[in-house]
Each structure stands twice: as C-alpha cells, then as structure tokens.
Structure 1
Amino acid sequence: MRTSRISTTVLAATAAALALTLTACGGSDSAAGAKAGTSRSGSTADDSKASDKTSETGGGKGTGAQAITATGHGASASGSQAAHGSQAGSGKVITVGSTDTRQCHGDEISYSVLHRFPKQQGEHLLITARNADSKPCWVTSYPSVILGDTSNVLRLSPKDAPGGNTRITLKPGGKVYSAVNLFTDSAATHASGTFSLALRDQTGDTGPATEQDTFDGKGVPSKFSWTSADVTNWNTTKPYDF
C-alpha cells in the first residue's frame, strides 16, 4: 500500500511539472509571436517610408510634361503613359519635372545611323542616340534633320504618336531612337549618304548640328534617295522594329 501511495504522489508531481513546462513554452511562443508581429509591422513602416522617399525623388518644378528615364538596358513605363500602352519595355523609370538633370547639348551624345529597307516600302534611316557622358541628361521633341545638300529641315511625321513635350532622360549609356522616313514617288529625287542633325529644346530651338553618315546592316556606307521625307519623335523603343 505504501508503494501505491508513492506511485500516486510521483504521478501527481510529474503532471504538475509537465503543466508548468507547457505553460512556459506557451509563454515563450506567445512572446516570440509578439516580437515577430512587431518586426513585420516595423518592416512595413520602413517600406512605406522608402516608397515615400522614392516618390519624392525627381519631383520639382517643370512644365508638367512627363519625363522618362532611359537606361542602358532598355526601358519601361508607368503611370498614365503605361496605361495608354506607349513607351513599353523594361528598365525605364518615369519621373516628373526633374530639376537635377540638364538638357543634352549634343557633345555628350554619340550617334549611329542604320539605313533600313533600301529601295523598299518602309525605307527609313534609324537614328540611335546614346549618352556617352558620365552624367544623365534629357532630350525632347524630335531631331532637327537636313538631308544631304538640301536646306529644308524635315517636318515631324504626321503619323507619329504625340509626345513632343516629353522629356526623355538618358542615364549614362542610355539610348533613344528616331527615324527619318524616306518617300520616293517621282523621278525628281535627291540622293545622299549623309545628313546633319541637331537636338531641340522644349521651345523648338536647336543646338549645334553634326554631320552623320549612313550605313547598311553590314556596316558599309549606304546612300539613300528620296522625293520627300519626315522624322519621328525621340523614343525609348525603336520605331518600325520588325
């Protein structure tokens, strides 16, 4: 009988100890959960602050026109432009009225000109402009182009999408594109392998012009002919890229 009482006592003590252990574990888990909840809440607050800070970047005065930042890896759009399906791509950031980026003057830009679809429908000169400087700068509108030895500045293509007031910010290595559309509809045509190009500002004034040579897809100088021609706005994607 004594043995029975001892066993009962031992079992009771063990049960009590187990209850205390479970209570302690539960308390620890609750505390950990509380800490985890606090940590997640703090992370959300930090993310919110970071988001606010990002939204403030690039803000400031301006004309209200959107500015697009083009990187050396392509571009993408957000905001109202993305909603309209324009300026699609990847790696591009849209800012508004940036005050810490200057206009590209031309001497920091390197150009290349590809003569596409010679003597075919859709013939054009693809102009690629790249920021070769170590600082960002912006371009706007469309390039001022005079073909060959003529004196007429090409007009903006009537079929081009609107967006001449948009500032496109070129980060170092960033690229933008324009196209000179060539039309031949009579015997009275011109021919050349060069043209002059200058950048415009938002008032339409142009900077210094540079002479550009045209090349075919193999890198060989290529002459082009035309009766009439026009030019498209600068864009972060290649026009007629097919």
Structure 2
Amino acid sequence: MSWKSYVLGAATVAALLASTACEPGATAGSDDAKPSDQPSATNSATPGGTASATPSGSSGDTGGSDGNGDGGNGDSGTIAACTGDDLAVSATKEPADSKEARHLLLTVQNAGDKTCNVYHYPYVKIGDAKGTTPVIKDSDPDSGKPVTLAPGDEAYAALLVAGGAMDDYEANSITLTLHSSRLGSKAGDPIDVPMPVDTLYADDGQLVTYWTTASGYALDFITSK
C-alpha cells in the first residue's frame, strides 16, 4: 500500500469517528428538547392558579350563609297584634238565665284571615265611669304572654259589673280598648261592646280579668263575688 492510500484511509476512519461522536451532542442540543420548554407544563399548576380557585369557593359559602340568614328572618315569624278590625266582640250574662247582669263574659273572636295576638287584659269602661275597670292581677294565666288567635279562635275576659261597693250607677254602654304588647299601653280606639241587657247596674266594685282561651278559668275569678 502506498503512503497516499494509507493517509486517505486514516482520514476516512477519523471522519467516521468524528461523525459518530457528534450524534449524541446533536440530540442534546435539539430544539425539540430544549430545557427552556419544560416550565411551560409546570405553569398550568402554579400556586397562583390554585389561589384563584379558593376565593371563588369561599364566596360561594358566604352566599349560602346569607341565604340561611334570610330564611331565618325574625320578621317573617312575627305575629301582629289584633285590632278592632280583626275582632268580633260580644258580652253575655253568666249564667245565661240569671236575672241580674252582674257577671259578664267578654268574648273576642278573630274574624280576619290572619293569626293575631291579644295582649294582657282589656281596658273596659262601663257607661259614664270616670276610669276603666280595675284588673284582677292574679288572673293572668301565662305570665304576660299574649293570647294568639288563629282565624275563628276566641279569647275571653270575665267582667264583674257590680261587686257590692258604694256609688252604684246605671250604664247603657260598654267599651273595651285593646292593650299593645307593653303592659300599661293602649292600642287603637275604644270598641263598642253590644249590650247583653238594656241597662246595667254597675258600682265601684267592678273588676275584669286577663284574656284567656278558657272561659271557665276567667269566670272563676268573679263568680264568687
């Protein structure tokens, strides 16, 4: 072999070796696998993305709480006080066949279409009396709680017209005024009560009870007087 052939053969081998050594380097430096491309996948799960979802859930929870608050609104459960427009009022002798009209049962019936409350006791005025009839304090059946009347329900108060005291007088009218929720307050104008007889013979010993749903309970406070 001539020296020229040897040189050419060596050059060929060297070229082949150089080509083989360059192949891995070319793969590492390929545009398809550059390190700069790797964070693009990681960015889709950055903490920023998670944080943006958290307030959204919290806001939804707050909305739910507000909804519950509205559902429990106290106003929706409030029962209004009865007014004269809501009530049918009557007075009857007790017992019904008695000759004297000394013991009367006052009755108010809810003639409206909504439930309402009557409070404490009625302010009663018999005829031209200067003041209203005193109340029997012990007759409060439920420690100042109102009597709640659904449509058609009744409440009762017993009225002693004459208790055997001085200063008797004739009366041709009875009025009652409703209490509001606060004891000692008044609500609305006086209501005319239909007379059970033409003329009542009243005196300064007259008394009235608190409202109750049990007529017998109310009458027990005056029938012995």
Partner of 2:114: 135
Calculate percent identity across the aligned residue pairs. Answer: 26
Query: In 2 relative to 1, CA 168–185 (structure 1 residues): closer, same or farther, beyond 3 Å?
Result: closer
Write out the 4+ residue segments of structure 1 that deviate beyond 3 Å after TM superposition. Answer: 59-62, 117-120, 161-164
| TM alignment of 1:155-170, pairs within 5 A | 155-163=134-142, 165-170=144-149
Give 1:105's aligned amino acid: T
Correspondence for 1:237 among 209, 214, 217: 214
User: What is the DSSP-based 3-state SS (H/G/I as helix, E as strand, rest coil) of the residue aligned with 1:142?
Assistant: coil
Question: Structure 2 length normalisation: TM-score?
Answer: 0.55
1:227 CA drift (Å): 3.1
- Once the two structures are superposed, residues 186-222 of structure 1 have per-residue CA deviations (whole angstroms, 9 ceiling, x without a partner) of 553022131111110121321211121321xxxx545
8 Å Cα contact 1:116/1:125 also seen in 2? yes
Correspondence for 1:205 among 185, 193, 198: 185
| TM alignment of 1:54-203, pairs within 5 A | 99-116=77-94, 123-163=102-142, 165-186=144-165, 188-203=167-182
Inter-partner Cα distance in structure 1 for 2:122 and 2:165 = 26
- Once the two structures are superposed, residues 20-76 of structure 1 have per-residue CA deviations (whole angstroms, 9 ceiling, x without a partner) of xxxxxxxxxxxxxxxxxxxxxxxxxxxxxxxxxxxxxxx9869xxxxxxxxxxxxxx
1:214 pairs with 2:195 = yes
Inter-partner Cα distance in structure 1 for 2:161 and 2:185 = 24
Inter-partner Cα distance in structure 2 for 1:116 and 1:226 = 18
Relative to total residues, which structure has the larger strand share, 1 or 2? 1
Inter-partner Cα distance in structure 1 for 2:113 and 2:123 = 25
1:140 CA drift (Å): 1.1
1:129 CA drift (Å): 0.2
1:155 CA drift (Å): 1.8
User: What is the DSSP-based 3-state SS (H/G/I as helix, E as strand, rest coil) of the residue aligned with 1:169?
Assistant: strand
User: What is the DSSP-based 3-state SS (H/G/I as helix, E as strand, rest coil) of the residue aligned with 2:139?
Assistant: coil
Highest CA radius of gyration, 1 or 2? 2
Relative to total residues, which structure has the larger helix share, 1 or 2? 2
Query: In 2 relative to 1, CA 131–227 (structure 1 residues): closer, same or farther, beyond 3 Å?
Result: same
Partner of 2:201: 224
| TM alignment of 1:14-53, pairs within 5 A | none
Structural RMSD (CA):
2.9
Partner of 1:23: none
Question: Structure 1 length normalisation: TM-score?
Answer: 0.52
User: What is the DSSP-based 3-state SS (H/G/I as helix, E as strand, rest coil) of the residue aligned with 2:125?
Assistant: strand
